[in-house]
Amino acid sequence: MLVWWCAITPAAATVIIFDNFPGTGGITGGGGFQLGDEINVPQSAPRFVTELDFGFTNGNTGSPTANVQAFLYANDGAGGSPGTLLWESAVVDAVIINSNHTVVAFSVPSILVPTTFTATASITDQVGNFGYAAATGANIGTFVSAWIGSPGAWIAIPPAFEIETRVLAMPVSEPSTPVLALLALVVCISINRKRTLI
């Protein structure tokens, strides 16, 4: 019984580290390029990203469809542009916007991001008026700049092209945490053995 109690450790809490929802509505077209937000979060913020959400819209016209994909970059490219690709999602096929606004949530496998990074999305194979939902500043985290393009060919564009983005993350483990966990396990096993021998 004691071994089970010792093995249970609280799970790290997932928190929102960037959020500029809700946006202003409107629509910013598709076209196959990547469009996204450069984001800054405090050094102390959780930075193992576990989920990336984007808002898409149809501009109040019909029920269009498109394929969408998400990406995370470090801003270590030329002039502070997106550089190193940290993660890319699989393509989500045939997303349908049934109302004016749809949020697509991408599950991210705990990717460590720097304090400044860029989250982008791409829209391909669109049918109808399918675009990015516009945003106007963050209520969590800091919006730095909007970027458009593709790896090696990025252009910084006006803040008016900020898109609805939400980033969820878990804390970066303290260096001592694994050592303490191992020590606790050794103590638990030792106590359990002593009880077994008595």
> Is the pTM value of this prediction over 0.85?
no
Which residue(s) pair with 106 in the sheet? 52
- Determine contact, residues 151/160, Cβ cutoff 8 Å: no
- Determine contact, residues 154/77, Cβ cutoff 8 Å: yes
Q: Which domains does the chain have, with CATH numbers?
A: 14-175 (2.60.120)
Sorted by sequence, the CB contacts under 8 Å of residue 80 that are 6+ apart come out as: none
If one compares 194 and 98, the residue with the highest pLDDT of the two is 98
pLDDT at res. 119: 98
Distance CA 175, CA 181 (A): 11
pLDDT at res. 65: 93
> CA–CA distance from 187 to each of 2, 20, 25, 178 (Å)?
11, 46, 56, 14
